[in-house]
Amino acid sequence: MNRQEDYEVSERFMKRWSPRSFDSSYPLYDEDIHKLFEAARWSPSSFNHQPWTFLYAHKGDDYYETYLSLLNDFNKEWAAEAPLIGFIVAHLKDPKGNENRHALFDCGAAWMALTMQARDLGLYTHGMGGIHYESCYEKLEIPNDEYQVVCAFVVGKKGPAKELPDDLKKEEKMNERLGTDEISFNGKFKRRKTD
Ligand X SMILES: Cc1cc2nc3c(=O)[nH]c(=O)nc-3n(C[C@H](O)[C@H](O)[C@H](O)COP(=O)(O)O)c2cc1C
Please report whether residue 128 would count as binding ligand X according to CB under 6 A: yes
Minimum Å distance from CB 174 to ligand X? 6
Minimum Å distance from CB 92 to ligand X? 17
Q: At what angle do helices 30-41 and 103-120 cross, to 10 degrees?
A: 140
Nearer to ligand X, 10 or 175 (CB): 175
Minimum Å distance from CB 143 to ligand X? 22
Residue from 162, 140, 146 nearest 62 by CA = 140
Task: Choose the binding region for ligand X from 26-34, 46-54, 96-104, 128-136 (rule: CB under 6 A).
Answer: 128-136
**Dihedral, CA atoms, 40, 92, 68, 43, nearest 10 degrees?**
-10
Minimum Å distance from CB 9 to ligand X? 14
Please report whether residue 164 would count as binding ligand X according to CB under 6 A: no
Instruction: Print the binding letters for residues 18-37 with ligand X: x by CB under 6 A, - otherwise.
Output: x-------------------
Number of residues assigned to the chain: 195
What gap in Å lies between CA 48 and CA 33, rounded to an integer? 23
Those residues whose C-beta lies under 8 Å from the C-beta of residue 89, and which sit 6 or more positions away, are 52, 53, 54, 55, 142, 147, 148, 149, 150
* Binding-site ranges for ligand X (CB under 6 A): 17-18, 75, 126-130, 151, 175
